[in-house]
Amino acid sequence: MARFVISTHGRLQDWIADEKGYFADEGLDYELDVRVLENAEQSIEAPGRSEIRIGAYELYRSGGGGKKDMSCACHWAVNQAAADAAGKMWGGAYAVLPSGIYVQADSEIRHPSDLAGVEIAVGYHSGSHFSTIQALEPFLAPDDIRLRFGGMPYDRVDALLDGSVAAAAIWSAPTYLVEQLGCRKVLDTTFMAGFMFGPSIDAVDVRGYFRALRRAQAELDLEPEAYKHYYRAEIPDRYRERVDVRCFGTGERIVFLPYTADAYERSQRWMRERGLFETASDLPEYASVVET
């Protein structure tokens, strides 16, 4: 049986399952693969230059870039990638990621309505992209929502902190980081993430993986302070000594409920209504892209 490679997602549960032996208990021959692409130090392009139009969806379609045997991304990207047969979306669980649109402390932006016409740094075809649109729609007309596709999560952290952008969409552990460094959240954009596994991966291993994660989630709920040090494993070197991870929250939460056919179809319609992907006219069948 091939080794089961787990793409970490900045969450604590995988690290807990590794430490406590939950993966081993399930008989998994596994390794944790830290998503180094999210930690790359690269500047967001200056206004007038090309944007970075590579995100979670493109990484799934390319078959690489940190997306391994078992991975996680916003449910919109995973939903669409599964519909395009880039992998199998696991229908037995999903995750919820803390997320928000942040500005610097002295920014004049105080309310979501103040973001009209303001460029917000997001990741292309990723959770920050879709969740920003969804969260801003109650406040702004579509033409007033301005997005700037600014690379990976810590690229946006860099740009927000150095003033290269007026606002940025930040999710999971980096939200605690920017708050600790003085930034303000203007709008909560917490969103759902989905799980994807490669077409060659045995569903037996995937079921074992989620049984281990269920135990890890309970352990995190019981004693989060014992495991927050693992955040340091996925924070870029340039920030490790600037923040105290003991002050962070618990981050991504895994929900052991189905990602249903209704959720799949509603998300597909939402993306199609906004023209977020080039898609076929027919909606792919839920059963053809989801394993439970």
143 within some domain: yes
Which residues does 64 contact at the CB level (< 8 Å), separation at least 6?
Answer: none
By C-alpha distance, which of 178, 181, 173, 175 is closest to 231? 173
- pLDDT greater than 70 at residue 49: no
285 within some domain: no
Q: In whole angstroms, what is the distance from residue 124 CA to residue 147 CA?
A: 9
* CB distance 95 to 210 below 8 Å: no
pTM of the full structure: 0.91
User: Can you tell me the mean pLDDT for 49-66?
Assistant: 66
116 within some domain: yes
Note down the domain range covering 239: 4-275
What is the structure's pLDDT at 201?
80
Buried b (16+ CB within 10 A) or exposed e, 21-50: ebbeebebebeebbbebbbeeeebbeeeee
Structure-token pair, residue 208: 């074992």
The separation between the first and the last C-alpha atoms of the chain, rounded to the nearest angstrom, is 21
What is the structure's pLDDT at 65?
43
What is the structure's pLDDT at 287?
56
What is the structure's pLDDT at 55?
74
Structure-token pair, residue 251: 């981050």
263 within some domain: yes
Q: In whole angstroms, what is the distance from residue 172 CA to residue 292 CA?
A: 26
By C-alpha distance, which of 240, 242, 241, 285 is closest to 261? 285
* DSSP secondary structure code for residue 44 in this structure: P
The total domain count for the chain is: 1
56 within some domain: yes
- pLDDT greater than 80 at residue 152: yes
Q: In whole angstroms, what is the distance from residue 88 CA to residue 197 CA?
A: 5
* CB distance 177 to 249 below 8 Å: no
17 within some domain: yes
3-state SS, residue 264: helix
283 within some domain: no
CATH of the domain at 139: 3.40.190.10
- By residue count, the chain amounts to 292
The residue with greater pLDDT, 69 or 90, is 90
105 within some domain: yes
- pLDDT digits over 227-252, tens only? 999 999 999 999 999 999 999 999 99
Q: In whole angstroms, what is the distance from residue 25 CA to residue 155 CA?
A: 37
- pLDDT greater than 80 at residue 290: no
